[in-house]
Amino acid sequence: MFFLLLLSVLIISACKDDDEVVNLLEVDVAEIEIEADQTTGVFTITTDADSWEIANPATEWLSLSRTSGTSSIAMIMVTVDGKTPEVRSAELVINAGNAPPVTVTVTQLDSEFVYELTSNRTSLTIQRLGGSQTFDITTSAPEWSLEIEGDWINVDKTTGTESSVTITVSADGNESGAERKGKIIIRAEYAPQRVVDVSQLALYPSYNISPPEPDMTGVERTASELAQDIIIGWNIGNSLEVPSGETGWGNARTTQTLIDAVQAAGFNAIRIPCAWNSYADQNTAEIDPNWLARVKEVVDYCINNDMFVIINTHWDGGWLEENPFYSKQEEINLKFTAFWEQIATYFRDYDERLLFAGTNEVRADYGTPTTEHITVQQSFNQNFVTTVRSTGGRNAYRNLIVQTYNTNIDHGINFHVMPEDNVEKRIFAEVHYYDPYQFALQESGSGIYTVWGESFIPAGSGWWGQEDHVDRQFASVKSKFVDNDIPVILGEYGAIHRTALTGEEYEAHKASREYYLEYVTRSAIQHGLIPFYWDNGHRGNNGFALFFRSNGNIFDQGALEALMRGANE
C-alpha cells in the first residue's frame, strides 16, 4: 500500500516537471567582425524573460552600450577602444531567465597603423648662409623617432615620448656650390611614416675676382662738384627694366638715334632703369652676359653724346623693391651683393660720367615705414656702397646714388641716414616727386585733379600740392641734404598726359600740365636738386612720352619746351 502511494506521488511530480516553460533567448548574430578601420558593431537580443544580462570578459578594450536590462528586445552597441596591431577576440555570454546561455564572439581585425602621427610641414628651406626652421610633430604613439638623410642637417632631438613637440632643424652655410637636399623621416611603431623634405640653396659664388687697386683717374670730382654739371635728365622708362625683355611693355628697342635726339632736345643726362634679377641664373645669381652687353650698349649711346648716365636696380618684379622685411633681408642682400659685384666689375673702367644707383622705390607699402622697413631698406643702401667700393679701380671713387625710403621726400627727411663710405663726399641722395597724386598719377576714380596751379584750379577747391607745396618740399630736401654737401637726384617726376579729355577741359589740362613741368623743374634746380623727367614711352591717354622711341622724333613739344624753360631760365 505504501509503495503504491509513493509511486503515485512520483508520477504526479514528473508530470509537473514536463509542463514547466523554458524562456526564449535569441541573438541575431553569433559573430561580430570589426574591420581594422572601424570601431563599432551591433547585435540584438530578443527574450521573454523578465531580465537579461551580458558577461564581458574583455572590458579593457571592449565596451558595451548596455550589460543588462528588462526589455524584451534590446540593441547592443559594441565599441572597441582603438586600433590593434594584432587580431583580438572576446566571447560575450548572454543569460536570460532559464534559457540556455547564448555566446556572441566579437573579433577585431588587426590594423597596420594603430596610432596617429602627423607633421605640420612637409618641406622647409634653410637660408643659404645657414640658419634654422621648425616643424611640429603630433602623435598618439607612446614613442617617436627621427631618421636624418643628409649629414648637413642638424636637429635638436631625434627621439621622444611627447605627444606634441616642436623640432628645430638647422644647417650651416652651404658652401658646396650646389643646392643640397635631404629628408627627415618621422617614425613611430604602428603609425604612418611622415617625411619632411629639407633643402638649401648654395651660397652665391664671389664675382669680385682680383679687384684692382683704387684708381682716381677720370673720377676725381666729388658728388657736389659733379652735380654742378648735370643740368636736367631723362628716363628711358619701361625699357631695360622690363622683366620680359626690353620691348615687353610696348616700347621700341633703344637706339643711338633716340639718345642723339634726347641730347639734341636739351637733356645732358640719362637715367636707365635696369632689371637684373630677371636676367640672372637663380641658383648662382650670374647675370646673362648678353644682358650686361646690352645695357653697356645703351650706356655707350649716352657716353657717345658726352652725357651723364645712371644705371640702377629697378622694380624687376619687386624681388627687392617690395621686401624690406627682416625675414627677407639676409637672402636679398646676398643676391644684391652678387649682382653689384658683377655690374660694378663690368662697368668699372667707365669714367665719372657713369653713376651707379643702388635701388629704386623700396617699400613695404605706401604708408609710414616701421623701424623694420627702414632698417632693412637702409641695409640695402649700405650693402650697395660697400660692394661697389670693394670692386676697386675707379669704383673705389665713383659717385654713387642711394635712395630714401620709397624715394619719398617726407620719409627721407624723417628717417634717412646716409650709409658709411670709405671715401668722402662721393654719394648722392635720391628722391622722386609725383605730388599731388590726384594730378600727377591718378588715372581713374573720384577726386582727380585735371589741372594744377593756383591760376588753374577752381577757386575754393582746397586742392593740395600746389606751388607752395613744391617749394616747401624741395626746401626741406635742400636743408636735409644739399646744405650738408649731399647733392640730390630727383630721379623721377612728371604728370600723366590726359589726352582723353576734350575741348576746353583738355586745353586747360595741357596748359596746366606744362606749367607744372616747368615749375617743378625750376624749383628743383633752385633748391639744388637735379631733375630727371620720367618718360615711360606711352603716347596714349595717361602717358608720359616726350619722344617717339622708334625714331627719336619729338612727340610732346609743349611738355619738352616747358621742361627746358624750367631748366634754363
pLDDT digits (tens, 9 = 90+) for 204-217: 999 999 999 999 99
pLDDT of residue 81: 87
**pLDDT per residue as tens digits for the range 195-251:** 999 999 899 999 999 999 999 999 999 999 999 999 999 999 999 999 999 999 999
Domains 117-200 and 224-568 share a fold: no
Contact indicator for 53, 36 with CB cutoff of 8 Å: no
- For 117-200, which CATH superfamily applies? Immunoglobulins (2.60.40.10)
User: ∠ CA 493-556-295 to the nearest 5 degrees?
Assistant: 60
285 CB contacts (<8 Å, ≥6 apart)?
A: 204, 334, 335, 338, 339
Distance of CA 50 to the CA centre of its chain: 74
pLDDT of residue 18: 55
**pLDDT per residue as tens digits for the range 306-362:** 999 999 999 999 999 999 999 999 999 999 999 999 999 999 999 999 999 999 999
- Domain extent listing, the chain: 23-108, 117-200, 224-568
Q: What percentage of the chain has pLDDT greater than the value 90?
A: 91
DSSP 147-208: EEE-TT-EES-SEE--SEEEEEEEEE---SSS-EEEEEEEE-TTS--EEEEEEEPPPPPP--
Amino acid at 133: Q
Tell me the mean pLDDT in the region 70-96: 92
Give me the half-sphere count of Cα atoms (radius 13 Å) on the Cβ side of residue 232: 28
Return the H-helix or E-strand segment holding 440.
Answer: helix 437-440
Contact indicator for 397, 426 with CB cutoff of 8 Å: yes
Q: Which residues are catalytic?
A: 361, 492
- For 23-108, which CATH superfamily applies? Immunoglobulins (2.60.40.10)
The answer to which of 236-240, 343-347, 440-444, 565-569 has the lowest mean pLDDT is 565-569
* Predicted model pTM: 0.79
Give start and end residues of each alpha helix (H) in 254-312.
256-264, 289-303
- Give the CATH fold of the 224-568 domain: TIM Barrel (3.20.20)
**pLDDT per residue as tens digits for the range 56-67:** 888 898 999 999
